[in-house]
Structure formats: structure tokens, C-alpha cells
Chain A
Amino acid sequence: SQQGEEDPQALSIQEGENATMNCSYKTSINNLQWYRQNSGRGLVHLILIRSNEREKHSGRLRVTLDTSKKSSSLLITASRAADTASYFCATDAGGSYIPTFGRGTSLIVHP
């Protein structure tokens, strides 16, 4: 069953703006990850945040995790047209480290 649910389902912004996507989940997790998928291709791992971490940065990406609210956000700063893709959050819980994926947010960045 799906664990994470992304919000919004679709996001359209102008180049240079920031993009924020949210992920909510239902049960306690070990890790939460974000992946990017360009136009029906394979997924690319972006960042992993552990349940005992609250914030992580990687280049223009900033991920936060609020375990009390069972939610995470992915912020892409100064977006570029090349950031156009679908973004998925994935969580693992309990004794299994196999991620379960949400439905994704479709991001379009207009040049």
C-alpha cells in the first residue's frame, strides 16, 4: 500500500522561482527519500533524510522532515527549466528498507 502522498499533484512555475512540494505519510518511518523522474524514464535519487533528522540540503534542494506531523517538504530554489520532472517521495518503515512510493508531484518550470 502507498505510504507517502505528495501535494500538490501538479505545480507550474516560472524559471527562477522556488518550488515546494509536500509529502505526508501515515505510519512511523525509518527514512524518507525524494526521487526525480524525467518524462517516463528511470528515477534518480535526490536525497534521503532519516527519521532522526529534521533538515537536509543538497545543492539547490532543501528537505525538511516533521515526524510529529508525519510530513516532509522538498524545496527547489531558483528553479530551472531542466527541473521539469515528476518528483516522488518514498518511505520505508519497520524492518523493511524497501521504499514505498507516493503518487508524485508533476513540476513544470517555464523558461
Chain B
Amino acid sequence: SAVISQKPSRDICQRGTSLTIQCQVDSQVTMMFWYRQQPGQSLTLIATANQGSEATYESGFVIDKFPISRPNLTFSTLTVSNMSPEDSSIYLCSVASAPWAGELFFGEGSRLTVL
């Protein structure tokens, strides 16, 4: 299993601003994902973070709103741009074990509140 650190753990942001969330893994991983969990809801996959290339976004999520970087096999960032109160959620970084059998390991999440 991998140890995943996310920063910040929580933040309160003003409408219209942007925030970058960092995800650091203690080992090299092939697959990294970003999920969103809105209050009281399930997890929704935002995108797959690809090392050295553009992220693969799921339906309903676009690069302009959620730019993602993955400069190497242990680190990724997710930016939530031009935030509105509807972006108030927990954002979770997750990684897959190798060889991947399907299970995911998660960071502790970043709880964002947008005022």
C-alpha cells in the first residue's frame, strides 16, 4: 500500500478565487486519480492524472475548471479554478497499487468551503 499526503487538509475560500491541492505519494505509482465528494454524496471521478501528458477528464469536468498537473510518478496537483459555493466539497487524491488489481488507496482529502 502507498502513503498519500494531501495539502491543504481544509480551507475556506472566497468566491472567484482558485486553490491548488497537492498530492504526494511515498512511492512511484502508475495510476493517480482525483475524486470529488460533495456533502453527503458519493465520490465522483474528476480525472485521471497522467504523468507527462494531459489529464483524462470525465464527463462533466473540464481542464479550464480543474487543471491537473503530474510532473512525476509521486506527485500531482489539482486546481479548482474560479470557485463558487457549488465547488464546496472534499477533494480526494487516490492511487492504484501495482500490479493493479482494482483497489485504490486514498489520501485524507482536502475539504474546501467556498463562501
Which positions in A face B, CB cutoff 8 Å? 2, 30-31, 33, 40-45, 48, 88, 92, 97-104
Of the candidates A42, A48, A104, which one forms a contact with B92 in the assembled complex, judged by CB atoms under 8 Å apart? A42
Given contacts A40-B90, A43-B92, contact A88 B43 (CB under 8 A): yes
Contact with A along B37-69 (1 / 0, CB 8 A): 000011111001000000000000000000000
B100 to chain A, nearest CB (A): 6
- List the count of A-B residue pairs having beta carbons below 8 Å apart: 49
Residues of B within 8 A of A43 (CB): 43, 92, 94, 104, 106
Whether the pair A48, B101 counts as a contact (CB closer than 8 A) is yes
Residue of A43, A48, A104 ringed by the most chain B CB atoms within 10 A: A43
What's the minimum C-beta distance from B21 to chain A, rounded to whole angstroms? 13
How far in angstroms is the closest Cβ of chain A from B91?
11
Shortest Cβ distance from residue A71 to the other chain B in the assembled complex, whole angstroms: 18
Contact A88 B42 (CB under 8 A): yes
B48 contacts A98, C-beta separation under 8 Å:
yes
Distance in angstroms between the alpha carbons of A87 and B81 in the assembled complex? 30
A97 to B107, CA, bound (A): 19
A45 near B109 with CB under 8 A, answer no
